């Protein structure tokens, strides 16, 4: 049985469970989707090993960070990793549709597959799957729940406007 390190972080969207392998962050779990986390692993609390993740997420929630600089090691298929990499290219405070994300990865007819990969993202917030919305602008699917997605998008819009005003 593999040992996974973890720490907890209180946030405006609830307590987050951060997991890692000792070198990289492997997961960010919100209360509503922790049941999806692999319970076959042994947990060992190590706040120091995940201190950078805790700090950067706290800065994000305070409106002081728009880009993350963390070593990440999400488990996923090649296609999922391609989608997750594309998610990281969506600018802070902006949204795109699943169809647009599919076009960006060179598979314009794969919007549903992109949606599934987006929903399998084990690193929400840092790999910003919350920035993907329905083609009609509606908030669709989010492992942390639609209310958390709505909060994250409003939070980013608020601070993106402040940043834009300061540097315009």
pTM of the model: 0.88
* Domain boundaries, given as residue ranges, for the chain: 3-61, 78-167
The yes or no reply on domain 3-61 and CATH 3.30.160 is yes
Residue 29 pLDDT: 92
Q: Could you confirm whether 88 is annotated as catalytic?
A: no
Contacts of 55 (CB under 8 A, 6+ apart): none
Residues paired with residue 147 on neighbouring β-strands, in sequence order: none
Candidate CATH numbers 1.10.10.10, 3.40.50.11750, 3.30.230.10, 3.40.50.300; the one for domain 78-167: 1.10.10.10
Check residues 71 and 145 and name the one with the higher pLDDT: 71
pLDDT above 70 (res 72):
yes
pLDDT tens-digit readout, 83-135: 999 999 999 999 999 999 999 999 999 999 999 999 999 999 999 999 999 88
| Coil vs helix vs strand at 137 | coil
**Catalytic hit among 16, 18, 129, 132:** 129
């Amino acid at each position: 049985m593999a040992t996974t390190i973890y720490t907890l972080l209180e946030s405006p969207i609830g307590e987050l469970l951060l997991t890692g392998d000792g070198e990289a962050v492997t997961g960010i779990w919100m209360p509503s989707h922790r049941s999806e986390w692999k319970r076959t692993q042994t947990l060992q609390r190590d706040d120091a090993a995940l201190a950078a993740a805790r700090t950067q997420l706290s800065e994000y929630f305070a409106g002081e960070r728009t880009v993350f600089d963390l070593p990440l090691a999400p488990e996923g298929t090649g296609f999922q990793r391609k989608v997750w990499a594309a998610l990281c290219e969506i600018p802070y405070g902006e949204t795109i549709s699943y169809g647009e994300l599919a076009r960006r990865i060179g598979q314009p007819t794969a919007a549903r597959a992109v949606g599934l990969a987006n929903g399998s993202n084990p690193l929400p917030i840092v790999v910003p799957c919350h920035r993907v919305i329905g083609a009609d602008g509606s908030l669709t699917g989010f492992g942390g729940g639609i209310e958390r997605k709505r909060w994250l998008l409003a939070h980013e819009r608020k601070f993106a406007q402040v940043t834009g005003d300061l540097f315009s």
